[in-house]
Amino acid sequence: MEGVGTQPRYEPDEFDDLFRRDYPSIVRTVLPIVGDRQQAEAIVQDAFVVALRRWRRIHSYDKPGAWVRRVAIRDAVRFARREARSGPFEVATPAPGPATDQADLVDLESAVASLPAQQRAAVALHYFDDCPTGEIGEALGCSPATVRVHLHRARTTLAKHLAFDSEEEEVS
Amino acid sequence: MTTLDDRLRSIEPDGPDIDVDEALGRVHKRHRRSQRSRFTALGVACLVLLLAGGVTLGARDDSETGLATDDSSGRGSIEDIIGVEWRFDRIEFSDGRESIDLREKETSLRFDESTFDGRICNRFEGAWSVQGSALMTGHSEWTVAACLDEAVASGENAFVELLSSSPISWVASPNSLELSAGGVTAYLARTTPTSAGDDTGPFIEDLIGVEWTFDRIEFSDGRETIDLTGEVTSLKIAQDRIHGSMCNSWGGDLHTSEGIIVVPDFTATQMACGGTIGDGEQAFFELLSAGPIAWTRADDTLELSAGAVTAYLSVRGWPFPPDIEPLADIAVQKAPAAVQPHPARPQHIIGTRRVHETPEIVIMVRSTPDQDFETVTSPWSAILQPVGLTWSESYVATWLPPGTAKAWVVLASGGAEVDLTLTTVDGVGIAGFAALPEPNGVIVAFDDAGNEIGRSEPFDIG
């Protein structure tokens, strides 16, 4: 029976289940932001360590994975900003994509990597995670309108780099 | 035809397969290590070492985070250093120079995972890393203010000397840090409390993005409670900045630790204030200046406490009446013919003012600083096309009579973060700062009560 002062119950394997389910996707989200696979994994692991320390509270959230994702993205953006001060990072070698030309893929990823950190994060969350701008704004600590600007500017830059038409889709 | 959006969606930033179980093992290992670190901090370090029988608690291999950790050396864990707000206690020298006492001075030092920053007299920041058993510091950037306090100036010089003698040996505990290099040893103390039982601690993320309003301010020293109910106040917390308004607008950088907010410094407009809101503002500034601020959030209320002052706030509602349309989603439209840009291509946007009861904006422009201002009254959609305007950081809004500043806008600059204060000719501040990380210009509209009623789509300022 739960009552005042009673700790909510949770299964000890709950954290491990969450980790196994969400870790790869969070790493995938963070990777384009920081541009380095090892660093991306380190950042996401840091976020999970913090979550584990606070698990008694975090497990009661509706979406504990969303909390970890938000912390990881925040730290990734901070990391990317710091890195930007000391020069652009190396672009990780991409995995073979299923239906894209490898050279074009490298060009596209290089172009994404050259974007400012916030724009990279917005692109990653919007295109790779299909997040609406409201959620992206929450993760980045800015308004949805600002997210739309980040996306607009990213598209404009990428279109210039890659000779694409920058015509935009409707962003929710 | 393949569009850019299609191509972006085709990126699979997956890379090689991720070994989830290995990663999970690392996370548990680090968590156990941090638990041991806390146990040690509770005063049973000797017992732990005896039980461990000389077993190395573990130098973290570089593949985990890139930082090496050595718990077995007696110098403490690198994790004890990171993310903690330190202050300088004293600096000692091995060459006979007199030690420098900094305990009463406002100083700070904070290590992030790869950078450090802080303040003695000037603010500084730089990069650091772990190399073997030492800390390596690279180039550091300093502000160049003259230091009037002799001890602070000497302390700063000594710390520069220490940094330039890198590698730096260190000894850390949860509450103290000792840095030593080149015959200079800095002793620092933690300014934020250790996080015993931090698994139930509050998260700064709970505060971010919420707009708060002040309910009341109470004092533990017997002063009378200040009731701010009904006053127009606000407080917002971003990732690394806190800002708001009571009588004046104010803001400052923000550092956080578990349950603690540290605002090393803040700036405010200088309007003279009286009455309840003036008293409340003074009390809140006292709170901001009193050191680390403890905070508690419960549902829609927030409690901030430092020194003898406790401020109680609640989530601010969306106050504008329903017949005023929110502006956030109004699409940028081409300016109607009646509101074409100024024929002289105005070069200065002075400020904008929302006209009470109408969805219109008065925008004052002039093409050179010595010209008279022209007034353009236009609907929002037209304001969003100020083609050709350029941006500068400060303006004098002579068009507003003193004391009438009840509504204002905040403009963010293109690219850079700019602190903007619009002032009337008598120096009365009428606009808050605009250190918004907007990549472009944005107009934020407030009603006459100071409540934000919406913001424009960002636009190019030029």
Could you report the per-residue pLDDT of B6-41, keeping only the tens digit for each? 767 666 555 456 788 888 888 887 766 555 433 333
Helices (H), B40-182: 45-52, 62-65, 150-164
Q: Measured between alpha carbons, how far is B233 from A30 in angstroms, rounded to an integer?
A: 37
Report pLDDT for A60.
75
Range with the largest mean pLDDT of A56-65, B344-353, B367-376, B382-391: A56-65
Q: Which A-chain residues 146-165 have CB contacts (< 8 A) with chain B?
A: 146, 148-150, 153, 155, 158-159, 162, 164-165
Determine what percent of chain A is predicted with pLDDT higher than 70: 68
Q: Above 60 in pLDDT, residue B99?
A: yes
Partner-chain residue, chosen from A42, A78, A82, that has the shortest CB–CB distance to B66: A42
Determine what percent of chain B is predicted with pLDDT higher than 70: 45
Report pLDDT for B91.
93
Q: Measured between alpha carbons, how far is A20 from A84 in angstroms, rounded to an integer?
A: 31
B66 interaction partners in chain A (CB closer than 8 Å): 38-39, 42
Contact predicate A128/A112, CB 8 Å: no
ipTM of the complex in this document: 0.74
Confidence of residue B316 (pLDDT cuts 50, 70, 90): low
CA distances to A122, A153, B247, B359 from B460, rounded to whole Å, are: 19, 11, 31, 22
Report pLDDT for B206.
61
Partner-chain residue, chosen from A46, A67, A127, that has the shortest CB–CB distance to B9: A127
pLDDT tens per residue across span B232-260: 788 887 767 788 888 777 778 777 665 67
Contact predicate A54/B199, CB 8 Å: yes
Q: Give the pTM.
A: 0.37
Identify the DSSP state of B374: E
Residue in this structure with the two tokens 């279109």, named with its chain if needed = A159
Phi, psi of A157 (to 5 degrees): -65, -45
Shortest Cα–Cα distance, A4 to chain B (Å): 16
Q: What is the mean pLDDT of residues B426-438?
A: 31
> Of B286, B406, B312, B390, which is closest to residue B355 (Cα–Cα)?
B406
Q: Which A-chain residues 98-157 have CB contacts (< 8 A) with chain B?
A: 98-100, 104-105, 108-109, 112, 116, 118, 123-124, 127-128, 137-138, 141-146, 148-150, 153, 155
Report pLDDT for A19.
93
Q: According to the 3-state scheme, what is the secondary structure of B21-38? A: HHHHHHHHHHHHHHHHHH
Contact predicate B262/B191, CB 8 Å: yes
Report pLDDT for A81.
66
Q: Measured between alpha carbons, how far is B341 from B388 in angstroms, rounded to an integer?
A: 8
Contact predicate B283/B217, CB 8 Å: yes
Q: Measured between alpha carbons, how far is A79 from A71 in angstroms, rounded to an integer?
A: 12
Q: Which pairs count as long-range contacts for B178-181, CB under 8 Å and 24+ apart, including other chains?
A: B179/B135
Helix and strand numbers, DSSP H then E, in chain B: 7, 28
